[in-house]
Amino acid sequence: MFRIIFLFVVLGAGLFVGTQFSGQQGYVLISIADKTLEMSVTTLVIFLIGTLAALFFLEFVIKRFLSASSSTWNWFSVRKLKRSRRYTNEGIIKLMEGDWKAAEKKVTRWANHHDMPLLCYLAAAEAAFGQGNKEKRDHYLQLASEQNNAELAVQLTRAKQAVREEDFQFALSVLTTLKEHHSSNSIVLSLLKTTLVQLKDWDAILDLLPKLKKAKLIDNLELEQLEQHAQCGRMKTIAEAQGSEGLIAHWDKLPRKTRQDDHLITCFTKQLIARKADHEAFTIIKEALKKSTSDELYLLIPEMNLSDIHPAITLLQKYTSKTPSNAAAHSALAQLHLREQQWSDAQIHFEKALEIRSSLSDYAYLADTLEKQDLIKAANEVSRKALTLIEK
């Protein structure tokens, strides 16, 4: 457009000057070496304008030719890109359908022409993994890692596949490295949670819980359950390594709120009982029952090997009198009476417990108690009730 305007301006100026100097054309002499060229000023102006017009036209023709060549080249490139995208999309669908072989073939067929070859190679790695071909899987992951900005996606793929293979040590090494640079990535944190639970790395799990909560990857209920699970696991590990003394020392260092959790008190007590620290376990439960009514705590008392069980009987009698509807307390007391061969007392409390709720173990204990008293018919009736529970 600028060139056209320029030509019109020059032409207009020539017409204006020509009208002003009509009849006075002037004289132009051009001499080059031994050759001379003579013409009027008007002829020179027309020649210059014609030359400029010819040059502009030639430029236009050349640009059109180059543009046509570029368009042709772009048409072929776009065609290849569209075909590559189509094959990749079809391959991803096959991947989701579980047709690993077809998926691998489609996503790799035109990967070189795709505008995101990383996607093709990652999909191919998943397809190879689905076929159980680790050699191909590693080959595709290597190709993927050679693409721009590929590290996070490639390493996450490695970690996910390692978790699915239950190769948790390798998954941990990959995820630990990723966590250094992507500490808030939700997939990294989720995979790390699964891996640490499987490896029973309780300390690391407890350290990870605040990050999981902050990232909203875990609700309050799951957070509480996972924390309890980790605390119980850590107590078991300490008990196995340091015995009951080390376990008690660890327990005393825990926050007060943690030591008031019924589930953790139960875990702690079970570990003490397993290491024959029954008197310490009974002391813990006796203190805990002042504030708690957890059934698990009551039912742990009969499992203890106490040199004198009368304090335990007295404690349970107190709670059964205070809360007659506490089936767990009745059952625990009945089991202690059974151990002392106090059959009638055991029968009374087993029957009270069963009036409140059904329990296969209490039916079995009651049947045994009745047999000890030669109440065979009643024992058989109780056994039949127990069978009905099993059939259900």
pLDDT band at 69 (very low <50, low <70, confident <90, very high): low
pLDDT (tens digit per residue) in 136-186? 999 999 999 999 889 999 999 999 999 999 999 999 999 999 999 998 899
Tell me whether residue 105 is in a domain.
yes
Count the domains in the chain.
3
**CA 376 to each of CA 256, 350, 381: distance values in angstroms, whole numbers, following the listed order:** 51, 17, 9
374 DSSP 8-state letter:
T
The answer to whether residues 160 and 107 belong to one domain is yes
- Whether pLDDT at 24 is above 60: no
- Whether pLDDT at 316 is above 90: yes
Tell me whether residue 11 is in a domain.
no
The answer to whether residues 323 and 289 belong to one domain is no
Q: Give the Cα separation of 190 and 218 in Å (integer).
A: 9
The answer to whether residues 80 and 145 belong to one domain is yes
The answer to whether residues 281 and 227 belong to one domain is yes
Q: State the pLDDT at residue 220.
A: 92
The answer to whether residues 338 and 291 belong to one domain is no
pLDDT (tens digit per residue) in 73-121? 554 456 676 787 888 888 889 988 989 999 898 888 877 777 788 988 9
Beta carbons of 335 and 302 less than 8 angstroms apart: yes
Give me the phi and psi of 376, to 5 degrees please: -65, -45
* Secondary structure class of 294 (helix, strand, coil): coil
**What CATH number is given to the structural domain containing 358?**
1.25.40.10
- Whether pLDDT at 133 is above 90: yes
Tell me whether residue 334 is in a domain.
yes
Q: State the pLDDT at residue 294.
A: 87
Range of the domain at 282: 205-215+222-297
- Whether pLDDT at 10 is above 50: yes
The answer to whether residues 315 and 336 belong to one domain is yes
Tell me whether residue 193 is in a domain.
no
Q: Give the Cα separation of 270 and 25 in Å (integer).
A: 122
pTM score of the predicted model: 0.72
